[in-house]
């Protein structure tokens, strides 16, 4: 009898995942892997396997589609995430949310800390919580540290929507979902967001649903 995938060494888990063509299956809320802190990456995957895994994360993120994906979201408890955002949004939305294009990049062992006291609140969703969105107040600017897939150090400031993306994906590596930080009175189906709350800011939703936004 084959061993369950989550009892195999990480390299074997990843090899099994990559044995199937196409996007990787995305783990959804309720799976314990999303609630456990991921292990720091320290060479558990040899370079060629790491490169294949990163490419599979990229393909899966694009297919979903999403702007970020963390390894635990495909069942692999390692501190690795990918982000990419072409930011195809109207100018009004870009200005309100600070959403600017982000190139594809790999985050290995990332962590963040706030820069300043500013916070911004917007609707946010997650590929592991399909069908729903909620307003989350996050740090408006963060300092992200860690490494890339080549082991080169990353130490960079992010602000606006890119700061939101790196916070969301790094939280996944700590077993934190956006729902843990959300204003639950704002919780809305994707349909409701599209039909009622498709505004550059969530001000109207806050008034109608009865929750407060940060100053």
Catalytic one of 169, 204, 208, 212: 169
Computed on alpha carbons and rounded to an integer, the radius of gyration of the chain in Å comes to: 17
What pLDDT was estimated at residue 21? 87
Residue range 24-47, pLDDT digits in tens: 999 999 999 999 999 999 999 999
Q: How confident is the model at residue 7 (pLDDT cuts 50, 70, 90)?
A: low
When pLDDT is averaged across residues 68-97 and rounded to a whole number, the result is 97
CA distances from 147 to 110, 144, 156, 173, 208 (A): 7, 10, 11, 14, 43
**pTM for this model (two decimals):** 0.94
183 has catalytic annotation: no
Domains of the chain, CATH where assigned? 25-209 (3.90.45.10)
Residue range 37-78, pLDDT digits in tens: 999 999 999 999 999 999 999 999 999 999 999 999 999 999
**Average pLDDT, whole number, for the chain?**
95
């Amino acid at each position: 009898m084959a061993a369950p995938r989550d009892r195999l060494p990480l390299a074997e888990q990843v090899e099994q995942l990559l044995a199937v063509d196409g996007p990787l299956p995305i783990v959804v809320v309720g799976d314990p892997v999303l609630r456990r802190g991921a292990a720091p990456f320290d060479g558990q995957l040899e370079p060629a396997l790491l490169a294949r895994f990163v490419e599979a994360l990229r393909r899966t993120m694009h297919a979903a589609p999403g702007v970020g994906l963390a390894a635990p979201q495909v069942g692999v408890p390692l501190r690795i995430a990918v982000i990419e955002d072409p930011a195809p949004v109207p100018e009004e939305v870009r200005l309100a949310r600070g959403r600017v294009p982000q190139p594809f990049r790999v985050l290995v062992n990332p962590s963040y800390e706030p820069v300043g006291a500013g916070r911004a609140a917007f609707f946010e969703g997650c590929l592991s919580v399909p069908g729903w969105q909620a307003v989350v107040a996050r740090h408006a600017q963060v300092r992200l540290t860690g490494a890339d897939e080549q082991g080169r150090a990353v130490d960079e400031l992010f602000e606006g929507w890119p700061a939101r993306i790196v916070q969301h994906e790094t939280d996944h590596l700590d077993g934190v979902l956006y729902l843990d930080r959300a204003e639950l009175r704002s919780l809305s189906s994707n349909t409701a967001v599209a039909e009622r709350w498709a505004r550059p800011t969530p001000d109207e939703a806050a008034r109608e649903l009865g929750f407060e936004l940060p100053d």
